[in-house]
Amino acid sequence: MRIGIVVDSACDLPRAFLDENDVHVLPITLRIGDLLIEDRRYPAETQAFYAQHLDRKDDNFAESIPYTAEQIEALFLENLVLDYDYVFCLTITAARSPIYENAQFAARSILSKYRAIRREAGLSGSFGMTVLSTRSLFTGQAVPVAEAVRLIRMGGLPSEIGERLLALIDHTHTYLVPADLYHIYKRASRKGDTSLRWSTYTVGNWLDIKPLLHLNRDVTTTVAKVRGFEAGVSALFARAEAQIVAGLDAPNICISYGGLPRDVEGLPGYARLADVAEDHAVQILISPMSKTAAVNVGPGALSLAFAARSHRSHEGSTQ
């Protein structure tokens, strides 16, 4: 059985990983003033975007325009229903974006129209698809996608893969430390997210205090505050290292950075994390943070995610 995967461009996985595993990307269009820019997860485009656009601090700086149900339907009916027998579409959390709802709506139409298209192409057999909200953002979306790739390689059936992904999504933990609080405060407040309040933003700027944000099952909380970006990154790496030793539910750590991915290896604590991951046969996947993520959390931010049923986040104090 030919099983495919579709994600949106907010999914923080390396472009090489997506290409090698035939993971299809739904672009997200960003409106910046009068300019429309597509987020397609091409590294060179992403780095140019960081350099040209992320120094702007404007309440109307950007908005994201996801694929419509009609665009998703066209992608499937023109290509995917012919290339695959079953497709998993894993989207950014439905709590933050209409992509999941659009894909669900499109799926009903796709499943009512595909038979004639496959018949005309000489293909027998049915086509099926599952649309899942990953209930997370950025690297948190990447973790179940990487696991889906692994399960497909192992020859898993759609029913087995779907059941596994549902369980994994509930136990995926996403962490983020911002370098610049402006974008994350303004975008979060516009969307009703109170995980970063005005007082935190102003005091954080004065004292260089960074919140460590944690997302699980659509809920974002501040679990600690540290002085300085590098201290925050080191704290995230230490959490990931400890969880690798305690046990993961999927053998991947996903990291994204709002800068050059190669610079991640020079950040404090990464070398030790990499050694522990290698000792436990855990793959670290490092990617540029998507343009879509960057307009929400600002340049230079770092996100890290893993899946672990045993993991517990805890409130922390300023260090």
Distance from C-alpha of 213 to C-alpha of 204, rounded to nearest angstrom: 14
295 falls in which pLDDT band (50, 70, 90)?
confident
What are phi and psi for residue 40, nearest 5 degrees?
-120, 5
Residue ranges of domains in the chain, CATH in brackets: 3-170 (3.40.50.10170), 172-307 (3.30.1180.10)
58 falls in which pLDDT band (50, 70, 90)?
low
Amino acid letter, 55: D
Q: What is the mean pLDDT of residues 72-97?
A: 96
Distance from C-alpha of 135 to C-alpha of 140, rounded to nearest angstrom: 8
Beta carbons within 8 Å of 291's beta carbon, 6+ residues apart = 9, 28, 30, 37, 39, 45, 46, 49
Tokens of 176: 């983020």
Q: What is the mean pLDDT of residues 265-286?
A: 98
Tokens of 68: 């419509």
Low-confidence winner among 60-69, 144-153, 187-196 (lowest mean pLDDT): 187-196
Tell me: pLDDT of 319 over 60.
Answer: no
Look at residues 94, 264, 84 and name the one whose alpha carbon lies nearest to residue 179.
Answer: 264
pTM of the complete model: 0.90
Q: Give pLDDT, residue 57.
A: 58
